[in-house]
């Protein structure tokens, strides 16, 4: 007898009930609609380069209450960082401020890069500088040595951190903290070491130098952190 009309269907077929079939079709329809409504997701940038919106320097001694542009020896295109044992007016700190409106929390590395100007010999005259964060409340038009905001030390930079005339300073933790806090600006003070060093210290180009080699703050991806979730899939997962 070859009549199979009354045969019991396989177990997997019995499990696929009309209700389950209807639910599967409904989910398929929802998934199709979700895929059609996806908005294009721009890939995260590999790097973000920022120029300072303020960069200047402050000097001590008889000029401690003066603003930078009023120094008799003011150099607009150069930012000097020095400690002098002869005259405190030659002891100077650099100030840099950056707008973080375009910064990304997805980029966990950050570095300041400074290009050494001519006229000094870092290998001979430079040993170390100290890196501080300060509130970005100062202005180059009004700041002086006496009214510098309270500073928090975040690191050091050494002659060994210089390659081909460019000093690179890691400020990853400082920038990440500001970005995570939702703040829009970050400012730094770069100062000479506490103990006197060689007279000339080190000079960097400012943003006003015609060469275009002024200071920069670069955010970049430092760690792998495993495979990133596909942004399209993330949209679907969050929608469901």
Strand partners, 174: none
Q: What is the pLDDT of residue 226?
A: 45
**What backbone torsions phi and psi does residue 184 show, to the nearest 5 degrees?**
-100, -15
Instruction: Determine the Cα–Cα distance for residues 59 and 70; give it in Å rounded to an integer.
Output: 11
In the chain the first and final C-alpha atoms are separated, in Å, by: 52
Phi-psi region of 165 (alpha: psi -120 to 50; beta: other; left: phi over 0): left
Q: What is the pLDDT of residue 236?
A: 58
Instruction: Determine the Cα–Cα distance for residues 155 and 153; give it in Å rounded to an integer.
Output: 6
Tell me the average confidence (pLDDT) per consecutive run of 10 residues in the chain, 240 residues long: 58 68 84 78 77 95 94 90 79 94 89 84 75 95 94 89 90 94 94 61 90 93 59 58
Q: What is the pLDDT of residue 104?
A: 86
How long a stretch of residues is the chain? 240
**What backbone torsions phi and psi does residue 136 show, to the nearest 5 degrees?**
-85, 55
Best CA proximity match to 98, nearest among 221, 219, 217: 217
Q: Residue 232, exposed/middle/buried by CB under 10 A (0-12, 13-18, 19+)? A: middle
Residue whose token pair is 């500073």: 151
What distances in angstroms separate CA 185 from CA 16, 100, 188, 232, one per listed residue?
59, 5, 10, 31
Strand partners, 130: 156, 191
Per DSSP, 187 falls in state: E
Q: How many CB atoms lie within 10 A of CB 207?
A: 19
């Amino acid at each position: 007898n070859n009549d199979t009309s009354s045969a019991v269907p396989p177990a997997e077929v019995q499990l696929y009930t009309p209700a389950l079939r209807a639910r599967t079709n409904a989910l398929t329809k929802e998934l199709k609609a979700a895929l059609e409504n996806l908005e294009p997701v721009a890939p995260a940038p590999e790097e973000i380069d920022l120029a300072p919106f303020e960069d200047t320097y402050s000097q001590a001694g008889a000029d401690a209450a003066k603003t930078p542009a009023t120094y008799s020896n003011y150099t607009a295109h150069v930012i000097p960082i020095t400690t002098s044992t002869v005259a405190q007016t030659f002891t100077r700190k650099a100030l840099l401020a950056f707008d973080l409106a375009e910064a990304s929390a997805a980029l966990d590395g950050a570095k300041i890069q400074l290009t050494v100007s001519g006229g000094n010999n870092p290998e001979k005259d430079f040993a170390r500088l100290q890196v501080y964060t300060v509130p970005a409340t100062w202005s180059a038009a009004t700041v002086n040595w006496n009214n510098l905001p309270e500073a928090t030390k975040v690191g050091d930079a050494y002659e060994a951190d210089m390659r081909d005339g460019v000093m690179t300073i890691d400020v990853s933790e400082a920038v990440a903290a500001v970005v995570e806090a939702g703040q829009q600006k970050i400012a730094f003070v770069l100062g000479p070491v506490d103990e006197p060093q060689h007279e000339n210290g080190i000079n960097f180009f400012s943003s006003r130098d015609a060469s275009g080699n002024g200071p920069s703050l670069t955010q970049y991806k430092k760690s792998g952190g495993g495979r990133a979730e596909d942004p399209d899939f993330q949209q679907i997962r969050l929608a469901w």
